[in-house]
Amino acid sequence: MSKTPITDKTIFRLSSLTKAITSVVAMQLIQDGKIALDDPVSKYIPSFANMKVGVEKKAEDGTRTLELVPLTRPITVLDLMRHTSGITYGFYGDSLVRKAYKEANIYAGDFDLAEFAERIAKLPLHNQPARSGNTVIPPTSWRGSWRSCPENHCSRSSGKCCSIRSA
């Protein structure tokens, strides 16, 4: 542990706090009328307009193939904030979509956020937007209330749902 005093130039590692900070900034942009929760992400990142969902098909012999199907609706800012966009991580699980993320090596090399978004846009989504997510923790500022999940995609052990409804 360093005994160096903290100053206004001190740099901290944020790790998972980036989600909280990003959400606060997004909510400020919403409050200022610069973006809306129901805005399609493609309004800001045009390449997201043509994304597809990877649906696994299993043949009788057990082999799996990936069929790319159109989105039922566009990914929205709210989907990004709730982690229900369908974008996934490639470093866990054995689904064909997750394998595609891993094989695409999207973290390789030197790139900026615009390039990273373009890399993501070329990959299939793991599921349709708003169907379920990797991490679904709605911010309390959305005034969401928990209820039993009508689609059975949330924690079955707790009986709680990630769906948000007005308080």
Number of H helices, E strands in the chain: 4, 2
Active site residue 145: no
Count how many Cα atoms sit within 13 Å of the Cα of residue 100 in the half-sphere of its side chain.
Answer: 22
At 139 the three-state DSSP class reads: coil
Active-site pick, 2, 15, 16, 157? 16
At 65 the three-state DSSP class reads: strand
Cα distances from 113 to residues 47, 79, 116, 139, in angstroms, run: 13, 19, 5, 24
Burial grade of 121 (CB within 10 A; 0-12, 13-18, 19 or more): middle
Residues forming the active site: 16
